[in-house]
Amino acid sequence: MSVIMLPTSPAVRAARPIVLSFGTVLKPYLGGPTQRINRIGTRWALRVTMPPMYADAARPWVNALAQGSESAVCIAIPQDIDVGNPGNPRVSAAVTAGMALALKGMTPGYPVRQGQFLSIIHAGQRYVHIFSADGSVEADGTIDAAIWPMIRVSLSVNDVVEVAEPKIQGFLDAPLEYDILTMPMVQIPDFTISEAA
């Protein structure tokens, strides 16, 4: 699957992470207890708001989003923290499921923070997670990190983990449309990228 990397400039004005859960809440008609049924496959989407742009600056965005209507797209996830220097994280042990991830190659003493995004690259596809608990990288550059949602693909040793600049990879939820203003400026309406897997 080809992946269109979206431009980094001009930068997005705002981004809204969205949890896509495929579970449901069962509400009985006859007064029994309400139950939450979770299903594997919980993933993320990202709703992106762009600033008004001069036409020359907008063209790379329009070009990438137009091509992305027939392909996957990829964009960095803005974060609300100073990420610092996490090193070069990689998966240190093969894992098939669960909510823990063994990492190596990180900067000793680096603090991972709950709610901080990471993306794991396996077989060319990115999978977005968050650290679900605070932690600190050991002196040898390793950490057994708690993550959310549950791992949904078998990971291999040395799969790259993006912590410094996590990215979401997936499909646009709607076709591209944009306004050509009279200044001349271009306004790209909000668009949403949903993880493909």
DSSP per-residue letters across 100-148: EEEEEEEPTTPEE-TT-EEEEEETTEEEEEEE-S-EE--TTS-EEEEEE
Residues in the chain: 197
Number of domains in the chain: 2
Tell me: do 92 and 159 sit in the same domain: yes
Please report whether residue 82 resides in a domain: no
| pTM, 2 dp | 0.91
Tell me: do 130 and 190 sit in the same domain: no
Q: In the predicted model, what is the mean pLDDT of residues 54-82?
A: 95
Tell me: do 110 and 140 sit in the same domain: yes
Its domain, for residue 185, covers: 3-77+169-195
Tell me: do 96 and 134 sit in the same domain: yes
- Model pLDDT, residue 1: 63
Tell me: do 182 and 155 sit in the same domain: no
Tell me: do 14 and 46 sit in the same domain: yes
Please report whether residue 61 resides in a domain: yes
148 and 90 in contact (C-beta within 8 Å)? no
User: pLDDT tens digits, residue range 129-152?
Assistant: 999 999 999 999 999 999 999 999
Tell me: do 7 and 73 sit in the same domain: yes
Tell me: do 177 and 156 sit in the same domain: no
Please report whether residue 177 resides in a domain: yes
Q: How far apart are the first and last CA of the chain?
A: 12
Tell me: do 26 and 66 sit in the same domain: yes
- Model pLDDT, residue 159: 98
Tell me: do 157 and 183 sit in the same domain: no
Tell me: do 17 and 63 sit in the same domain: yes
Tell me: do 63 and 35 sit in the same domain: yes
User: pLDDT tens digits, residue range 7-57?
Assistant: 999 999 999 999 999 988 988 888 889 998 888 899 999 999 999 999 999
Q: Is residue 69 over pLDDT 70? A: yes
